[in-house]
Amino acid sequence: MTKAEIISLLSENHQQFIRQFESLNEYEFLSSVNNKWNASQQLDHLIRSVQPVVLAFTLPSFALKLFFGKANRSSRSYAELVEKYKNKLSDGGRANGRFVPAGLSYSQKNSSVKKFRELTASLTKKLDKKSEEELDVFILPHPLLGKITLREMLYFTAYHAEHHKNQVIKNLETLTQA
């Protein structure tokens, strides 16, 4: 995927996630079943996940190299990265540390959706300043996937929003059946 295609995918997946949240009432936002995260926790988790990616894309190339290093392999494709993530989840991988959501109150919903929208806009703006080559040269640590290229982190960030949107949809379907 080119940088332009990644920007488009990030924007589309994040907008779909945001649209899902804008329509939720208080019950839908705060309720969950089967000890799964509720919608507020899904949103909180995505904010916690995107913030460090935005920060990393703020760093100049020399700092990325100094702090995280350079890739010793080619970037995986979007499909390969998604498959690796799904395999890690099926092997029991879960969010940990600072990525575990505390959840949000319903009164925080609109400001949190706005914050997520702003993070997405900031990320795509910062991505636009990186070269295609930089996306494949520099790496970042991912808590589940290990060291991945900037391009792969963007693939993950785009897919991650889709994954959690689908989790919210499943939760809502289960709530309406209960």
Domain ranges of the chain: 3-177
Tell which residue, 71, 65, 81, 67, has the closest CA to residue 152: 81
Residue whose pair of structure tokens reads 């575990």 in the numeric block: 100
Q: pLDDT (tens digit, 9 = 90+) per residue, 116-169?
A: 999 999 999 999 999 999 999 999 999 999 999 999 999 999 999 999 999 999
Please tell me the pTM assigned to this model: 0.94
Q: pLDDT digits over 76-119, tens only?
A: 999 999 999 999 999 999 999 999 999 899 999 999 999 999 99
Pick the CATH number of 3-177 from 2.40.50.200, 1.20.120.450, 1.25.40.10, 3.90.1010.10: 1.20.120.450
d(CA 57, CA 142): 14
